[in-house]
Structure 1
Amino acid sequence: MNDTADTADTAGTAVSKVREYYRLVDADDVSGLLALFAETAVYRRPGYEPMRGQADLKAFYTGERVIAEGKHTVVTTVADGRRVAVNGVFEGVLKDGREVSLEFADFFELDAALRFARRDTFFFAPMV
């Protein structure tokens, strides 16, 4: 196998893991989605301090996250080796009962073990 095939195989695996992430988060399977993240993963999201490591991620997904339920629809996925960019739409209900529909963009970086080492999330919402 050549380097190009290795890169394509890695990118394909990375995309599969990202799609699995959205399936798990929408199913509220916190333990399953945490298993996709490296122990030292960093997650950056507007309105929150960077989350570092499994404990911060677990605290976010089991308590701090303002979403009660919903569904992510991935529109576009672009992969380059262990880096994956996604844009899509989230529709759901917040913990305060409000219904939301918003566009998002996520950027994932996977480590050599193909676990998420970094994730950055952006929302298309008025801020200024």
Structure 2
Amino acid sequence: MNNEHSPVTPRSDNLLTSVGMDHVRLSYCYLNDGDLDAYCSLFAEQAVVRQPGRRPVTGRQELERVERARRATRSVRHSIYEVFGSGRKVAALGLLTHRRHAGPAESDLPFVDVFTVADNGLLVDRTTFLFSPGSSLCSAD
């Protein structure tokens, strides 16, 4: 039974969500393998990537340049626990590990990435949220 409180998602939105979820999963596989060409190919030409403490990266070419520069000094590993989506939004929950080429591992950081998917299935933006060790998500007053 359909009413304004129980909308039916059109089949095309379900397909778009599914494609977006596949592209998000693939993006982490490509990042973990160091295949930056394949990683960047999942993003729209003018995609925007936002990460804490960094300026937004705009465009596929800039994304590739920034990722290559990061990998020159450290390796990055994404362990994904869950990927879910609704409509044009897809979220991934996981653990981010940075290892400097010269030195000990940094702290592992839990993260959430939220993506927006374009009509053609490419990723048009990615926003990263990190949980910092020692911080709390809410106040326990």
TM-score bin (small chain): 0.7 to 0.9
* Aligned 8 A contact 1:67 1:92 in 2: no
Query: Max radius of gyration: which structure?
Result: 2
Partner of 1:30: 36
Query: Is the Cα–Cα contact under 8 Å of residues 110 and 118 in structure 1 kept in the other structure?
Result: yes
1:111 alignment partner in structure 2: 118
Structure 1 residue runs of 5 or longer lacking an equivalent are: none
Q: 1:29 to 1:71 in 2, by over 3 A?
A: same
Q: TM-score, normalised by structure 1?
A: 0.86
Instruction: Tell me which of 3, 18, 26 is aligned to 1:20.
Output: 26
Partner residue, 2:62 = 56
Instruction: Name whichever of 70-79 and 116-125 sits farther off.
Output: 70-79
Sequence identity (%) = 26
Cα contact 2:52–2:129 (8 A) shared by 1? yes
Runs of 5+ unmatched residues, structure 2: 1-7, 136-141
Of the structure 1 ranges 25-34 and 53-62, higher mean CA displacement relative to structure 2 is found in 53-62
The residue type equivalent to 1:115 in the other structure is L
TM-score by length of 2: 0.79
Misfit runs of 4+, over 4 Å: none
CA distance in 2, matches of 1:67, 1:6: 42
In proportion to residue count, which structure has more strand? 1
Please identify, of 9-18 and 91-100, the stretch whose mean Cα deviation from structure 2 is larger: 91-100
- For the 8 Å contact 1:14–1:81, the answer to whether it is kept is no
